[in-house]
């Protein structure tokens, strides 16, 4: 059975473009002919709102929360999006309870991985991307345990940069015990504006500390990327222009991701590099 590559998009810092990157990296991979599933594991439901819109919560309808609690497959929950080759595992309002309900369970870090193992349709995909909430919560640990790789978006500002080392330490604390095969795919610099000194400072610092683990792609500041989710469009659909800024940035990132996954790099993890 084909097993997709599973990649978590993580950072405990808020607003660094985790959701935007999950949606548009997913769309970029789909445009390159890959079959992609994006998963919304954030109770804020931003990925779901951005791609298919939110529907009023109905307690009679099975949701991601119910499947996770039952450690059952997600087959009946997967939804197509308006992008060919891009499907969504949506999040519903009751997902906020996942954290508390998982906490007292046995093998609580492995529930999501078990759900994926029971999802027959998973073999239809080449890539699964997981959008996470801005915290290293138990749900995020579940995402990392279920993943082959993780990507860290970091916005070109001082505070998110300092948080990067904390994130590395935090992941390292459980990685050896729970998911030793998890690898960092790299750090992607977002909200980048070449003419701003702080952006170039952060870029230089990341380059010197992370070396090749910093993706060459920069996700540039882009007003259109702010508007696209409000009409449930990816940046590709919204710009509808091969030379659009977001279209170019996310295509470049997808090509880098494909190359790095293929190389299945044996370089030190990005966080080890960050910690010197
Ligand atoms: N290229 C861009 N330039 C400027 N703003 C952007 C860009 N891409 C997305 N945004 C906006 O930045 C904000 C944060 O993006 P996003 O929701 O993806 O971050 P996040 O890390 O997922 O946030 P959270 O931690 O709350 O989940 C959103 O309002 C989004 O519309
Ligand atoms: Mg988000």
Q: What are the pLDDT digits (tens) for 48-59?
A: 999 999 999 999
Residue among 52, 17, 2 nearest 187 (CA) = 17
Q: What is the pLDDT of residue 161?
A: 84
Domain that holds residue 236: 5-274
Residue position matching structure tokens 């790789």: 149
Ion ligand 2: residues, CB < 5 A: 18-19, 46
Report the number of distinct structural domains present in the chain: 1
Q: What is the pLDDT of residue 160?
A: 80
Alpha-carbon gap, residue 162 to 123, rounded angstroms: 38
Q: What is the mean pLDDT of residues 116-139?
A: 97
Q: Which residue owns the Cα nearest ligand 1 atom 28?
A: 226
Compute the mean pLDDT over every residue in the chain, rounded to the nearest whole number.
Answer: 94
Give the CATH number, domain containing residue 218.
3.40.50.300
Identify whether the C-beta of residue 164 lies closer than 8 Å to the C-beta of residue 197: no
Alpha-carbon gap, residue 69 to 151, rounded angstroms: 26
Q: What is the pLDDT of residue 28?
A: 98
Name the band, by pLDDT with cuts 50, 70 and 90, for residue 158: confident
What is the number of the ligand closest to the CA of 219?
A: 1
Q: Which residue owns the Cα nearest ligand 1 atom 13?
A: 15
Mutate to test the pocket of ligand 1, among 135, 150, 226 (most ligand atoms within 8 A of CB): 226
pLDDT tens column, 83-102:
999 999 999 999 999 999 99
Q: How many alpha carbons fall within 13 Å on the CB side of residue 66?
A: 14
- pLDDT above 90 as % of the chain: 91
Alpha-carbon gap, residue 117 to 119, rounded angstroms: 6
Write the CB contacts of 249 (distance below 8 Å, at least 6 apart in sequence): 217, 218, 219, 220, 222
């Amino acid at each position: 059975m084909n097993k997709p590559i599973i990649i978590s998009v993580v950072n405990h810092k808020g607003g660094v473009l985790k959701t935007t990157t999950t949606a548009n990296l997913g769309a970029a991979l789909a445009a390159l002919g890959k079959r992609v599933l994006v998963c919304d594991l954030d109770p804020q439901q931003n990925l779901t709102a951005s791609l298919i819109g939110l529907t009023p919560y109905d307690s009679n309808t099975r949701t991601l929360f119910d499947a996770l609690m039952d450690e059952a497959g997600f087959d009946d929950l997967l939804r197509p999006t308006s992008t060919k080759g891009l499907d969504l595992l949506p999040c519903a309002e009751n997902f906020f309870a996942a954290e508390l309900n998982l906490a007292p369970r046995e093998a609580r870090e492995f529930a999501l991985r078990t759900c994926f193992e029971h999802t027959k349709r998973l073999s239809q995909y080449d890539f699964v991307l997981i959008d996470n909430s801005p915290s290293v919560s138990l749900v995020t640990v579940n995402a990392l345990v279920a993943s082959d790789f993780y990507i860290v978006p970091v916005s070109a500002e001082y505070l998110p940069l300092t948080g990067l080392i904390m994130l590395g330490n935090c992941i390292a604390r459980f990685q050896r015990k729970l998911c030793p095969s998890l690898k960092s795919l790299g750090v992607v610099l977002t909200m980048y504006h070449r003419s701003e000194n702080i952006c170039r400072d952060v870029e230089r610092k990341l380059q010197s500390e992370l070396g090749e683990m910093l993706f060459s792609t920069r996700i540039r500041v882009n007003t259109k990327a702010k508007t696209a989710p409000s009409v449930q469009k990816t940046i590709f659909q919204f710009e509808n222009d091969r030379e659009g800024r977001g279209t170019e940035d996310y295509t470049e990132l997808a090509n880098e991701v494909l190359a790095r996954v293929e190389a299945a790099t044996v370089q030190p993890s990005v966080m080890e590099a960050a910690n010197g």
